[in-house]
Each structure stands twice: as C-alpha cells, then as structure tokens.
Amino acid sequence: MTDRLPLHNRVALLMALAVAVAALALPFLGFAPNRLLSGRPVPLWPALQGLDGVAVLLPGLVLLTAPFLRPTRAGLGLTIAAGGLFTTGLVWLAGAQAASLAQGASAAARTSFASGFWVMAAAGLLTAIDAARRLGLGAVGRLAVGGAVAGLVALQLASGHLDALSILKEYANRREVFADAVLRHATLVVAALIPTLLVGIPLGVAAHRVQAVGRAVFPVLNVVQTVPSIALFGLLMAPLAALGALLPGSGISGVGPLPAVIALTLYSLLPIVRNTAVGLDGVPSPVREAARGMGLTPRQVFLRVDLPLALPVFLSGLRITVVQAVGLAAVAALIGAGGLGAIMFQGLFANALDLVLLGAVPVILLAVAADALLSIGIAAATHRIGVLPGRSAP
C-alpha cells in the first residue's frame, strides 16, 4: 500500500468531482404543484436510500474510483460501463422518484429534471466518451457506446417507467401533435434536400470543371449563409405573399412550409456545392490519367474514379447540410411551417417550460442522430477507397 493513490485519469477525476459536487449541492429534481409554478428542489441523497437508488449508487461508486484505475482494457472498459450505466441509472431513479412524488399529489403536479441531474448525467457520459477514446475506439465504436446508452433510456421510455416525469406528461397530452411535428420536421428537411441535391451537385461539378462558375456562385452562397435564418424567412414572406396574391389558387403563400423549404434550400446549397467541388478537386490527376490510359471513357472515369473518390468529402458536406437544416427547420416554425420548433416556441410564448423541452430535446436528438448516421457513412466511404497518397481523410 503506497501513501498516495496512483492517479491515472485526470479527466475522470474532474468528472468525479463534478458528480460529487452536483450530488451534494445541486437539486436532482424539481417538484411543482402545476406546470406554471416553479418547483421546490428535490435533492439526490434521500432518493438513493431505496432499492432504485442502487441503479445510481453502484455505477456511481465505480465512477469515483475510475480516476485511479489503470488504463488497461479492463480498467477503461469498466470506466465506460460505469459512466454509461450511471447516466441511465440517473434516468431510472428520476422516473422512480417522479412516480413516488406523484402518489398523493394532484394530477397537475409536475416533476422535472433539475440542474443536478443534468450535471451528473453529462459527467457520466463524458467520462464514458473519454474512456472510449483512450481505449482507442474509432468513430463507430464510440457511436456504439452512445447507442447503448440511448437504447437503455429508450427501453425505460417504452416500459412506461418514466411516465410520471413532466416532459412525458406533456407528451401524453399531445401524443398526436408530437408525432405530426416529428414527421413534419423530417419532411421539411427532406423537401429541402431534394432540390438542394438536384441543383447543388451539378453546380458543384460545374464549379470543379470551370473556375468561372465557382467564382460566380460561391460569393452569392456565402452571403446567403451569412444572413440570419429568421431574417431570410422574414424577407421571403412579402414577395411570396405578393406572388400568391397575383396567382390565386396556386397555393403560394408567405407563411407555411413553402418559404421554409425555399430558405432551407438556399442555406443547404453552400455545403453541397462546395464539398462536391472540393471533393472532385481532391481526386489526384495521376489516378484519373491512369484510368484514361486503361481505356475508360470520360463517363466511366467520372462514375468509377471521380465519384467514389470524392464521396467522403461530399458526404461530409451532406452531414453539415442535414444537421444545419434540422436546426433551421425549428426556426421555420416562426413563419408557420410547423414541426418540432412549433412545440418549442409555443412553450416559450406560453411560459410552459416542459413544452419547451418536448420541442427542443427531440430537435437536438434528430440532429445528433443524423450526424451519427452520416458519420458512419463517411467512415464506410473512406474505408472503401483506402488512403490515397497525398490525400488526407476528410
């Protein structure tokens, strides 16, 4: 036994300290008689005494020892498991607490997550993510860790264990509105993506082949990207409303999904055009010449050489576009386009904070999920072409 504990992981130490401070000093949950009143704080300690507390206590204790674990496969694997299970355990405990607080309270009573929950959940996740990186897990491996945590939370959601929490009460009140909003949100993004790809890819190819095209197109798209979304939505309203008045029966209107899709398309073009052009620019000319030397026609060279080699860069452009469009579609709710932003802003305007969460959290989850899926696609496309000399991975 040495005098001092051997410190192996200072990141885990910082996170363990954050967990300790949050557990002692910050409220775990907030309990309010109804959704308009602010809640009284519910600390973590009393909640830990029951059987449900084990879900947090057990991984929590391992998490506190994580800074001193050797950075071996076993040590880091244990840290990943402890961090992930600690976060899902917090969710479980919050659900159980909310259910017990709901007993004997009116149906309007609300239990919501408080700052202590958020700090501890984030610390648990970050410990796991950092340990996964130390273990040398690639993008896909880290996504698997994140997917496992998301899966455990999804199971709790599906089982009804979390139903007494305020965000789910809010959901239960507007199940259909919520489902419609998610669908509408995704539809807006896809509806903008189709014209973006149809126009953006040919434009990117043209910018790669003819320099003058790039010089003409990029400054315009850059300025569009600079204009704040809410301003672009606003500026599109009047011309479209005027057009709708000129063409009665055309269905054109200054509010609703049409201006939203037009604005989303304008924003989405830049990453697609730029990355199509940059991806093609990055194809080494010896490779192209070798393909021509083998007797491939220009069309075959484009389809079999240029396209697969430019694909990873193109996909990173698509990733930027989709993640950006998910966020912009939320702003589009302000001009009546619907989607999850409508729920979020309805909550903000009515001072209903659980409603804000019900809108904002799924927007973030959608963006993160789109990012994760496209990351896997980029990893696969990069893996397929291998590493070319003189060309760094995107």
Partner 1 sequence: MTGAGMAPRELLTDRLMLGLVALVALVLGMPSLKPLFATLFPRLDRPLYEAESFVSLTLDHMALVGLSSLAAILLGGGAGIAVTRPWGREFRGLLETVATMGQTFPPVAVLALAVPVMGFGAEPALIALTLYALLPVVENTVAGLDGVPAAVLDSARGLGMGPAAVLFRVELPLAAPVILAGIRTAVIINVGTAAIASTVGAKTLGLPIIVGLNGSNQAYVIQGALIVAALAVVIDAGFDRLAGWLTRWSQR
Residues 344-363 that bind partner 1 (CB under 8 A): 344-345, 347-349, 351, 353-354, 356-357, 359-361, 363
Q: What sign for the dihedral angle of Cα 155, 156, 159, 165? A: negative
Q: What sign for the dihedral angle of Cα 148, 153, 154, 155? A: positive
In three-state secondary structure terms, 1 is coil
Asked whether 217 and 199 are in contact (CB, 8 A), the reply is: no
Return the range that interacts with partner 1 (CB under 8 A); candidates 56-64, 78-86, 338-346, 379-387.
Answer: 338-346
| 150/156 Cα distance (integer angstroms) | 10
| 353/193 Cα distance (integer angstroms) | 32
Nearer to partner 1, 50 or 219 (CB): 219
Residue 257's beta-bridge partner residues? none
DSSP type of residue 165: B
Examine residue 42 and tell whether it contacts partner 1 (CB under 8 A): no
Instruction: Identify the residue among 364, 373, 387, 393 touching partner 1 (CB under 8 A).
Output: 364
The single-letter code of the amino acid at 56 is: V
Asked whether 288 and 306 are in contact (CB, 8 A), the reply is: yes
Examine residue 14 and tell whether it contacts partner 1 (CB under 8 A): yes
Residue span 173-212 as binding mask against partner 1, x where in contact by CB under 8 A, dash where not: ----------------------------------------
Residues that bind partner 1 (rule: CB under 8 A) add up to a total of 55
| 125/201 Cα distance (integer angstroms) | 38
Nearer to partner 1, 194 or 361 (CB): 361
Would you say how long the chain is, in residues?
394
| 30/62 Cα distance (integer angstroms) | 27
Asked whether 277 and 317 are in contact (CB, 8 A), the reply is: no
The least distance separating partner 1 from the CB of residue 179, rounded to whole angstroms, comes to 19
The least distance separating partner 1 from the CB of residue 242, rounded to whole angstroms, comes to 10
Examine residue 335 and tell whether it contacts partner 1 (CB under 8 A): yes
The least distance separating partner 1 from the CB of residue 18, rounded to whole angstroms, comes to 12
The least distance separating partner 1 from the CB of residue 217, rounded to whole angstroms, comes to 17
Residue span 82-121 as binding mask against partner 1, x where in contact by CB under 8 A, dash where not: ------------------------------x--x--x---
Dihedral (C-alpha) 227, 230, 231, 233: value to the nearest 10 degrees? 110
Residues 303-332 that bind partner 1 (CB under 8 A): 323, 326-328, 330-331
Name the site residues for partner 1 (rule: CB under 8 A).
9-11, 14, 112, 115, 118, 126, 129-130, 133-134, 222-223, 226-235, 237-238, 241, 254, 323, 326-328, 330-331, 334-335, 341, 344-345, 347-349, 351, 353-354, 356-357, 359-361, 363-364, 367-368, 371
